[in-house]
Structure 1
Amino acid sequence: MPSNACPQCQRQPKHPDYRFCSVACGQSAARSAPELKYLYPHHELSVMIATQFMQCWSIGPKPMVLAVYTITWTESSQRSFKQYRDAVEVRGQFKRNGCFPGNEQKRFRSTVRACTLGEGANVSPCYNEACWMCETIRCGFEPHLQRKRSVPLNGPGIRLGAGIYTSHSSSKAALYAENRHDPESRIKAMLVCRVVIGKPFVTCQEDPTIRSPPLGYDCVYGEPGDHSAFREDEYVVYNADAIRAAYLVLYDTAPGA
């Protein structure tokens, strides 16, 4: 199979700037979305994501990537993400600085998985209310954002307020990977998200009261440093349309054990 095969039809080469080979294949994927599409290890998208995952692992022993999947989106999910990104782009004109539209970037995120999504032939998100990973893939980040907004100011997980947290560091994101269905399992899953960073507000201080970026900014960036409250970076967006789960990485936390 070609290293750039379309994840949907797996016959034609994918478009250079698009995950699928054609509009028709993209529409076909959208009709059955959301679901996982397995990427063979030699596929250029799999190589790109696995390489980023390994290169951005900075804490402790490196795991082994077992599988990479691309996550399909419904047409409505695609449309709302693009509308948000385009609005940020118009305000910031990031293309003129050589950035992707809206300063879109790939960032890592982990959460609770209460099923075996990604393992074996399991490529369909479950409906277990305890499985926040499948919830995110099925419903987007609005349910998570609502939970964050209900956390008290002295509660956990809101160092930069009620937002959606991602990181450039895969090892940082891995700290939040939880297998609720089998806590002893070495196999874990992590999301690689497309995030509209826009113009980030940079801070070295925690502030759990934040509910949206300061005026003129699109996200909050917790910058690590010697005198910072953050050991590793945190990118936080406060609009569910600013982020989509794009890939799932399945990895072994103790290879060779």
Structure 2
Amino acid sequence: MSTIHPTAIINERVQIADQVEIGPYCIIEPDVKIDSGTKLMAHVYVGRYTKIGRNNTLFPFSVVGVIPQDLKFAGGETHLVIGDHNVIREHCSIHRGTENAGGITKIGNRNLIMGHAHIAHDCLIGDDNIFSQGATLAGHVEVMNRVILGGYSGVHQFCRLGNYAFVGGYSVVTQDALPFIKAVGNRAKNYGVNNIGLERQGFSKEDIRNIQKAYRILFKKKLRLSEALQQLKEQYSHSERVLELVAFIESSERGFLH
């Protein structure tokens, strides 16, 4: 059985599963689905066409699923999908997608989104990421898995942050941040492999060495990019991590941080 505070305003077209808690003064627009175990504390606002998975916690004054801040948005049916076990802290804002870009903003599982963070329209967020206080994503940003964004960092629209990337506080990212690296500064630069972070995530010494060697081939040997990538494919065909790095670079549209 769900618990709903009498001051909450919930449209009749909202679907609420069992064991959901909805606190005082929450507002939930039509066509919203909330799965079991999710808790909305006081004053949470959930916009239309939002789907919230299991065991999420939304803290006071968080706003999710409202229309995008895009002048081209014409009011169509677009969506926000939030996965399971996410924590969305005070005053966060997460906007739904736009009509011309797939129509969806997506949040994966087990993400910690700290206070005042902003995730704009059409962003695609993977799993196990940490958005520190005030971290901000422009539209169409892709954040893969186990990424850490430092406090008040900003990411330009259409950029991608690869797996295990680390973005320092107050940094401004204007190109793709490669997997496994540290990006710091305004404008952000690539400060090398995030060795300590990878160790904490359980990477083997061999994997870290391979990533470091791949980094040197990419940035230290003064090869053309095509030559460096070919060399990595030939020398590290056995390394899943290096091949992941190669694939990320080959699919980059904005270029990547150096």
User: If each structure's helix is expressed as a fraction of its own residues, which one has the higher value?
Assistant: 1
TM-score interval, smaller chain: under 0.3
What TM-score does the superposition give when structure 2 sets the normalisation length? Answer: 0.27
What TM-score does the superposition give when structure 1 sets the normalisation length? Answer: 0.27
Larger RCO (alpha carbons 8 Å, 6+ apart): 1
User: If each structure's strand is expressed as a fraction of its own residues, which one has the higher value?
Assistant: 2
Question: Over alpha carbons, which structure has the higher Rg?
Answer: 2
